[in-house]
Amino acid sequence: MFSKSFLSILPLALVVQAAVPPYKTDCGNGHSARNPKCCVWFDVLDDIQTSLFDGSKCGEEAHESLRLTFHDAISFSPTLGGGGADGSIMAFADIETSFHASTGLDEIVGEQKPFALKHNVSFGDFIQFAGAVAVSNCGGGPRLQFLAGRSNHSQVAPDGLIPLPEDPIDKILARMQDAGFSPAETVDLLASHSVAAQDHIDPTIHGSPFDSTPSDFDAQFFVETLLKGVAFPGNGSNLGEVLSPYPGEMRLQSDFAIARDPRTACEWQSFVTNQDLMVRKFTKVMAKMAVLGQDPRRLTDCSEVIPVPKPAASQVAHLPAGKTLKDIEASCKKTPFPTIKAHPGPETSIPPVPAS
């Protein structure tokens, strides 16, 4: 607590300024923003939470919206071209969604584009905004930074800049390094798979998730990816798929490899018992990814529009029912795998993620 004598020597203007809250613009409908440029995003938020995310759910549209942020942004290379997070995947949807790595994204692009046009915001802005709102709808999710002001001018991104699940890990890490991400940051980005599902690697099990808690942004994904694989969840081995620990759960070849590679295994393991660390690192790396190809100094910080996420159902990852530490394929040589509790109850079986 400052003494009266200390306060008496401060300039009056400084004392008054500290006591007055920052001015906010009235955006209508009970919303206010520090920058009037952000007001339009409250209108977009209200619209997509109702009409795209079915009442703020962490369902299929939320999962696909988060996936879209990556596929638009990672198409960036200092040597090969690509505009990064510029909305080109929406502007040139007939071309870019036909890339093998973006199979199936034509659906979410088709759902999102009318909202961007309706509210007269750029495609690049809308994609990153919708992804940030989507993950905030998932329990335990981060409240991501959102910067607005991307131009609506873009060019078609080159094919081949988006890593594939069947790619060798050396190729994946080299592609990510070319875009400006370290091996550890690649792991950080993969926290998105805690609320993800597949539709096209095995179309017979549409919506099969990558962990047993696909509506929660939690560390369960980082535990279950390290479990020994025992079976394929669908019609057998498919390109980009490896053995899964459970019926109904899909495991990507790339996730399997990154979880066990010496360059990435310790970063992977670090999230197993540290939900907060996972959220912090994902938030930081997403802020970096969302401005690939952009000059952040020319953008406006509208992060206050992003909703505050609810807590995850469980803040502590566990060994799924029917599994023990002997089923974990720990690969970090620096530190032993942490002791985690087993979940009581019958052996886990994961149903597909329901369509929203």
Please write the tens of the pLDDT for every residue from 93-127.
999 999 999 999 999 999 999 999 999 999 999 99
Q: What is the pLDDT along the chain (356 residues), one digit of tens a residue?
A: 444 443 344 444 444 444 445 678 999 999 999 999 999 999 999 999 999 999 999 999 999 999 999 999 999 999 999 999 999 999 999 999 999 999 999 999 999 999 999 999 999 999 999 999 999 999 999 999 999 999 999 999 999 999 999 999 999 999 999 999 999 999 999 999 999 999 889 999 989 999 999 999 999 999 999 999 999 999 888 999 999 998 889 999 999 999 999 999 999 999 999 999 999 999 999 999 999 999 999 999 999 999 999 998 888 899 998 899 999 999 999 999 999 988 765 544 454 444 44
Residue 98 assigned ligand-binding role: no
* Nearest by Cα to 238 from 164, 328, 312: 164
- Report phi then psi at 182, rounded to 5: -75, 165
Residue 97 assigned ligand-binding role: no
Distance CA 66, CA 46 (A): 18
Please report the domains of the chain, with CATH numbers, ordered by start residue: 34-161+287-305 (1.10.520.10), 169-275+313-327 (1.10.420.10)
Beta strand 147-148 with 251-252 is unpaired
Cβ neighbour number for residue 122 with a 10 Å cutoff: 21
Q: Which residue has the tokens 């540290």?
A: 274
Q: What is the pLDDT of residues 216-258, one digit of tens each?
A: 999 999 999 999 999 999 988 899 999 999 888 999 999 999 9
* Nearest by Cα to 332 from 270, 251, 246: 270
- Report phi then psi at 227, rounded to 5: -70, 150
Residue 86 assigned ligand-binding role: yes
Q: Look at residue 11 in the predicted model and tell me its pLDDT.
A: 47
- Report phi then psi at 241, rounded to 5: -120, 145
The DSSP secondary-structure symbol of 190 reads G
Q: Look at residue 235 in the predicted model and tell me its pLDDT.
A: 87
Residues involved in catalysis: 71
Cα distances (angstroms) measured from residue 197 to each of 17, 193, 277, 341, 351 = 50, 8, 23, 25, 11
* Helix ranges (DSSP H) in the chain: 4-8, 12-19, 39-51, 60-73, 88-91, 93-96, 105-119, 123-136, 169-178, 183-189, 220-224, 253-260, 265-270, 275-289
Cβ-defined contacts of 30-33 (< 8 Å, 24+): 33/302, 33/304, 33/305
Residue 211 assigned ligand-binding role: yes
Q: Look at residue 12 in the predicted model and tell me its pLDDT.
A: 44
The DSSP secondary-structure symbol of 298 reads G
Residue 213 assigned ligand-binding role: yes
Q: Which residue has the tokens 């959220």?
A: 279
Distance CA 300, CA 283 (A): 18
Q: Look at residue 316 in the predicted model and tell me its pLDDT.
A: 87
Q: How far is CA 229 from the centre of its chain?
A: 25
